[in-house]
């Protein structure tokens, strides 16, 4: 009875240590790019409340894309629902997205103003250890 319990503890520690290395980047990806209830008129409030800005500054980010899906659907791109796209992974299916584009150039938090646009596109993301960690771009896909 002690051996299986010890194995369970060892397995749990291994899984947790793997998650610990990816969790901050995955959490940041979720915070910056995942919002199932996002709409085109909520760019200012959502970006402001989440504190999304250019890296290591208080400058407004020029463009930010929100994926209107669950984390499980997006994570699946890194597994069976995606295909290689350079050093990224491209979704096999299109996703509804909201692209927020900065209206007031040289703006600073918390005074960023955005114009939102709804699209349905395949998306390219960077995956590490099975987790999405970077949104690269949306892809226009024409069916033949």
Place of tokens 């709409």: 39
Residue 71 to residues 6, 55, 68: CA-CA distances in angstroms?
Answer: 32, 23, 10
Please report the DSSP string for 93-112 in residue order: S-EEEEEEEESSTT-BTT--
The catalytic site residues sit at: 33, 134
Q: For residue 3, how many C-alpha atoms fall within 13 Å in the half-sphere facing its CB?
A: 0
Q: Which of 139, 100, 128 is nearest to 29 (CA)?
A: 128
Q: What is the rounded CA–CA span in Å between residue 23 and residue 45?
A: 25
The 3-state DSSP class for residue 48 equals helix
């Amino acid at each position: 009875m002690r051996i299986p319990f010890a194995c369970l503890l060892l397995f749990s520690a291994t899984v947790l240590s793997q998650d610990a290395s990816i969790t901050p980047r995955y959490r940041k990806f979720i915070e910056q790019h995942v919002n199932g209830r996002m709409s085109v008129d909520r760019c200012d409030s959502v970006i402001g409340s989440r504190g999304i800005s250019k890296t290591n500054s208080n400058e407004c980010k020029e463009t930010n894309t929100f994926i209107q899906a669950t984390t499980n659907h997006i994570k699946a791109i890194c597994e069976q629902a995606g295909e290689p796209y350079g050093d990224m992974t491209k979704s096999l299916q299109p996703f509804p997205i909201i692209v927020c584009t900065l209206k007031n150039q040289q703006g600073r938090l918390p005074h960023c103003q955005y114009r939102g646009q709804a699209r349905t596109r395949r998306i390219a993301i960077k995956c590490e250890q099975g987790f999405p960690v970077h949104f690269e771009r949306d892809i226009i896909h024409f069916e033949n």
